[in-house]
Structure 1
Amino acid sequence: MIDILVISISTPIKIGVYENSVLIEEIEKDGMTSNLLPIIFKDLLKKYKIDSITYVNTPGSYMAIKVAYVFLKTVCIVNNIKLNAVSGFLFNENSPIKALGKKYFFNKNDKIIIDFLEEKSIISDFKLPKYLDKTKFSSNTLPIYNLPAV
């Protein structure tokens, strides 16, 4: 069973290929989600029979989340692949994630809030886990934006 995990809410984009939930390949690229995902998935679809794709649908860059959702949803429909979603906080040690301007997203008691970064805050890079915990994945794959309308 091959599963793909896509973390596209920051640079570099990180994609993990998992066989039976164990990481077997890491892809890391700098650039725009809209430019990179088609190239990466062209190769992945040739190389693997993918059973599921999971992407980070919150919080983070609106554009990256939108582009990833539309692209991955299309790939999944065309290729009969299951699509899942997950929070980005699972892959950066629950540290703040850049929001808008000088504000950041914080995970406080499983509620996402937006605030200014405190001096003592530690920002961790996103990391692909060595093992996928699928119990954290959701079948509700719509993007969750977390910011009020302007």
Structure 2
Amino acid sequence: MHTQKSNDLVLISASSPILCGIYEEGQCKEVFRYEDKTLNALTKIAQIIKDREIKRIFYAKGPGSFTAIKLTHIFLQTLQIIQGIKLYSLDCFYFNDNSPIKAFGNQYFIKEGEEIILKSFEEVECKDFALPKILRSEDFGTCNEPLYVLPPI
């Protein structure tokens, strides 16, 4: 009897470009990169999820674009409810070597210890987000609340 390998999906959609990877037994097998708006990219990713019979999704829950994080959260929670897909998440810093993440103007999200704060920089080097070559599921958690990190009004 032949058993189908389980495919996982890793998604980074908190900023452009949106990255999506298909993992088979922890190894990255396919990478998709979308320059589209988040909603358009998520529509394409929904088809990938259906075609590959994804059972688990690992994703970056923020910080980043408020709209992108919100759309991704709603999209993934809907998949979880309707299709029973298991969700695991962590902050975006995991995917960029803990480098600052552009917020707006000269404001950047940075992680100090376990706290994420906004900080002003005139010049700062930000690393691009990247999908891991090996999926380490133990690095992710099941507390999937979005990390909006909005400044006080």
The answer (yes or no) to whether the contact 2:38–2:68 under 8 Å persists in 1 is yes
Decide which of 116, 135, 141 is 2:138's aligned counterpart: 135
* Cα distance in 2, alignment partners of residues 54 and 74 from structure 1: 15
Gaps of 5+ in 1: none
C-alpha distance in structure 2 between counterparts of 1:109 and 1:40, whole Å = 33
Q: Distance in 2 between matches of 1:145 and 1:53?
A: 20
Hey, what does 2:39 align to over in structure 1? 34
Distance 1:101 1:60 in 2: 13
RMSD over aligned Cα atoms? 1.4
Per-residue deviation, residues 22-69 of structure 1 (Å, max 9, x unmatched): 1011000101111111122213312x1212012211211111000001
The aligned residue for residue 64 of structure 1 is 68
The within-5 A match list for 1:96-115 is: 96-115=100-119
Aligned residues: 148
Report the TM-score when normalising by structure 2: 0.90
Contact map agreement 2:11 2:19 (CA 8 A) in 1:
yes
Alignment partner for residue 14 of structure 1, among 16, 19, 35? 19
What percentage of residue pairs aligned between the two structures are identical? 39
Give the TM-score taking structure 1 as reference length.
Answer: 0.92
Provide Cα deviations, 1:91-129, integer angstroms capped at 9, x if missing partner: 11111001132200001122111111253x321101111
Q: Which amino acid aligns with 1:92?
A: N
SS of residue in 2 equivalent to 1:68: helix
Please report how far the alpha carbon of residue 4 of structure 1 lies from its aligned counterpart in structure 2 after TM superposition: 0.6
Equivalent residue in structure 1 for 2:120, among 116, 119, 122: 116
Question: Structure 2: which 5+ runs fail to align?
Answer: 1-5
